[in-house]
Chain A
Amino acid sequence: MCFKNLPIAFDEQGNAYLKEDIANPYEYKVVDLGQEQDKLHSLMEKNGYIKNVDYDPVTRVAGALAFHSVVDLKEKKVLSTNSMATLFRGYEIILKGRDPRDAAYISSRACGVCGGVHATTSALAIEMALGIKPPPLGIVMRNILLAIEYLYDHPLHLFLLAGPDYSEELVAATNPELISKAASAKCKNKNVHGYDTILDIMKDLNPLKGKLYLEALSMTRVAREAYVQIGGKYPHPQSVVPGGISVTVTMTTLNEVYTRLIKFFDYGQKTTGIWDDVFDFFYEQDERYQQCGVRPATMADTGVWDRPDFYDASFENCDKWGEARWSTPGILVDGEVVTTKLSELNAGLEEFVEHSYYEKWQDHKFLTDDKGLPLSPNHPWNKDTIPKPGKQSWRDRYSWDTCPTWDRLPMEAGAYSRMYLTAKAQKAPASKYLENTGHSMIIHVPKYNLPAADLEWKIPTHWNAFERNRARAYCIPYSAMVALENWEIAQQLIRNGETAVSTPFEIPQKGLYKGFGAWGAGRGFLTHHLIVENGLIQNYQILTPSTFNAAPRTPWGAPGPYEEAVMNTPILEKFDTPENYKGIDILRAIRSFDPCMPCTTHIMAKDTNHVVTREVTTCACGIE
């Protein structure tokens, strides 16, 4: 019984049904956010230390995110938060009425980093809708491609976007007392990364000049070089199609990939060693850092990397092939696994727009899925995207992001969720390089220049900003080992003469078909929900990790993950006057989620209904 809040129950045979005797089963309470605002205004009038602290835009994130907070600088507490996606995207509108074969290419443009996962998720949605099963090599090469995409994305986050928050330059400006301590703090993992003291690491985390910053830039090149062997180009691959991939794969292709992939064996060891040392240092200096960005480990993940002997694209078998993935799909509520079934993950999804610039839709076209699981009118298959630009108000609507929930709970998403769920659930089939213990994931990294090592990522006690980043570091060797295992399978398939990489298909010109693609982005959870009617896309809905993470309040007033994480963040920065306050603790909390607003948000031309595609990947636009 995974649903506690939605009116879905299961009989003794495990068949789902809508609870009876409830007049309006999907009803929910809408609270007035104005009361909270009135209280805050009254506090601000009485207390000069309570200030509005606005970050607009939040820098070193992908895209247009603004964040409003009310902070008591005397008590060093955050009193209120609002996360704002400041642009409209509109892919849902762009894709309506198009040939489904366009979807992978167009939706890929939703992001300038994770175009490959959007293309793949789109392909998966079409495969499910139309019953297209790719051949084994197509599945395996897709796994490798997307593992490599993560190998581009993780260093980027760790060293270019979030990393500078822990650099000598920023720490000296916000907590100078830590610098002298860092100078004498010895690194535990010097044998893998070569740094003697924490300050040595911090110096190389300095943006633009630090060796670790520059090394990350060069590692993104290594990942791109491997990626284009399969994808043709980066970030928007040309070869991801429903039914597999459209590129011939030979031993040469695999060798070209391998010579790049092995560089991540050592880099994975080095990166995990660095971040373990840095974050342990912060905890040792002040245990209140454990509260930075803390929130319950309540997370959703789609799982990724299909097993060629399980994946058949069907909705009917999605629970089986989902659980067979190298990373397990599912839901965690307060650190406990609630489900690992893709069908239940799908059925629990809803999107709300009470605090977003959209109109509520009226239809409830799909009452159940094909297994009979009841679907809410707010489920993505039932959703209609109706933009309604308006005035920004903390009392009412303040974001272009919607509010997605699972079983009416705000969910966090991240690459780390995939690691957490997989380690905790212990559902993933046996792997040569990965071991899930229920409390950790052990990653067996082979020798390259460094000796082979067993890296262990442990489920942390507190789910906070530091642990998000630490887990992200472990996602580098995790992704590299999945890529390696798939590379070995690909080699074997080619040796066996199983060289087909795609399955031909036709778009039926009559009838209604629905499917959803579920595949994690570099930043976690990603679904594309698709309805094809008479040969054309009738509805297309994209739910990205940052749609979850950047969400505004639920209609019943629960904060979105960024909002909650920042609310729980203690102000540990040292400052003399409010004017000197830089807000580093809040920024660490937000950046630990690796916000990606191009995926999340939307843009349309001012004063029109005209959807503009350009800014979708520009990330650099102001608020209209």
Chain B
Amino acid sequence: MELNKKTLIGTVGYHILGNHSMPPMMYLHLNEMSWPDHVKVDELNWGPVAVVQMMEAESPPFEKVIILCAIERKGRKIGQIDVFRWLGKLPDEEQIQACVGDAATGVISVENLLVIGEYFKIWKDEVYLVDVEPGPEVAGEKWTESMESSIPDVISTIKRLALTGMDDGIDIKYLQGDTLFTNKIVTD
């Protein structure tokens, strides 16, 4: 297990949407935390195409990327944390085109980021999503109590992924591009 990999912790999500906005709101907090030199924190809301261009220009590239997101998924309780590892693979070309079109016209979406990043081969070794269940979408700046109480675990999960090995006691699920838009989660 190789430690000290060059690592990017990124946040993705819209603002002012209650629990759904936890990732962009957590960006400031994560950025202010003390991290070793090989770990960088950035907001990745500024468009998958731009993120691709930034990653392509990054030398040496990030070997590990940890994305904090909050995607509503069936069967989860608010605040439930799941860690997904991205396995790559691409959906069909029409879907990729749709992702690029959405990305270039302003959509903020983790799925688009993963697929476009995969297509342009920016993901090197390890890509993880730390995905926290936000529940139904509501407008506003506040989080629910369940979301609020999940934050210490969110931070510790990100820290463990960033600073230690990938399988260090974390239950990992898997995502891949060819099944991403049919909501299929690969369970290994």
* Chain A residues within 8 Å of B, Cβ to Cβ: 59-63, 111-113, 115, 156, 160-161, 164, 207-208, 217-218, 220-221, 224, 233-235, 596, 598, 605, 610-614, 617-620
Contacts and interface: CB of A to CB of B under 8 A. Distances in A.
Contacts of A63: 105
Given A207-B93, A605-B137, A611-B139, A112 B107 contact: yes
B106 A113 contact: yes
- Which 8 residue pairs across A and B have the least CB separation, nearest first? A112-B106, A62-B105, A614-B14, A617-B106, A221-B53, A207-B97, A618-B107, A614-B17
Contact of B46 (A234, A611, A617): A234
Interface of B: 14, 16-17, 20, 46, 49-50, 53, 93-94, 96-98, 100-102, 104-109, 119, 137-139
Contacts of B53: 217-218, 221
A208 B104 CA distance: 13
A598 B105 contact: yes
A234 B49 CA distance: 13
Nearest to A59: B98
Nearest to B95: A59
A160 B101 CA distance: 7
11 contacts: A59-B97, A61-B101, A62-B106, A112-B105, A113-B105, A160-B100, A220-B104, A596-B105, A617-B107, A618-B106, A620-B102
Given A207-B93, A208-B96, A221-B53, A160 B46 contact: no
Contacts of A217: 49, 53, 100, 104
A220 B49 contact: yes
B178 to A, nearest CB: 16
B69 to A, nearest CB: 14
A613 B106 contact: no
A106 to B, nearest CB: 10
A619 B105 CA distance: 8
Given A59-B98, A612-B137, A613-B16, A156 B104 contact: yes
B14 A60 contact: no
A605 B137 CA distance: 9
Contacts of B108: 617-618
Contacts of A596: 105
A462 B97 CA distance: 31
Contact of A610 (B98, B104, B119, B139): B139
Nearest to A618: B107
A98 to B, nearest CB: 13
B100 A208 contact: yes
A305 B106 CA distance: 24
Contacts of A220: 49, 104
Do most interface residues of chain A lie in helix, strand or loop, or is the interface mixed?
loop
A61 B98 CA distance: 9
Nearest to B101: A60
A445 to B, nearest CB: 25
Nearest to A94: B139
Contacts of A61: 101
A113 B101 CA distance: 11
Contacts of A60: 97-98, 101
Given A218-B53, A224-B50, A618 B109 contact: yes
Identify the interface centre among A111, A112, A113, A617: most chain B CB within 10 Å of its CB: A112
Contacts of A613: 14, 16-17, 139
Contacts of A605: 137-138
B93 A614 contact: no
A208 B106 contact: no
Nearest to A228: B46
B101 to A, nearest CB: 5
Given A220-B104, A610-B139, 5 more contacts: A208-B96, A220-B49, A235-B106, A618-B108, A619-B102
Contacts of B16: 613
Identify the interface centre among B14, B20, B101, B139: most chain A CB within 10 Å of its CB: B101
Contacts of B104: 113, 156, 160, 217, 220
A614 B107 contact: no
B162 to A, nearest CB: 26
Nearest to A60: B101
Contacts of B93: 207-208
A218 B107 CA distance: 18
Contacts of A160: 100-101, 104
A605 B119 CA distance: 33
Contacts of A235: 106
A220 B138 CA distance: 33
A610 to B, nearest CB: 7
B109 A620 contact: yes
Nearest to A214: B120
A108 to B, nearest CB: 11
Nearest to B105: A62
Identify the interface centre among A59, A115, A598: most chain B CB within 10 Å of its CB: A59
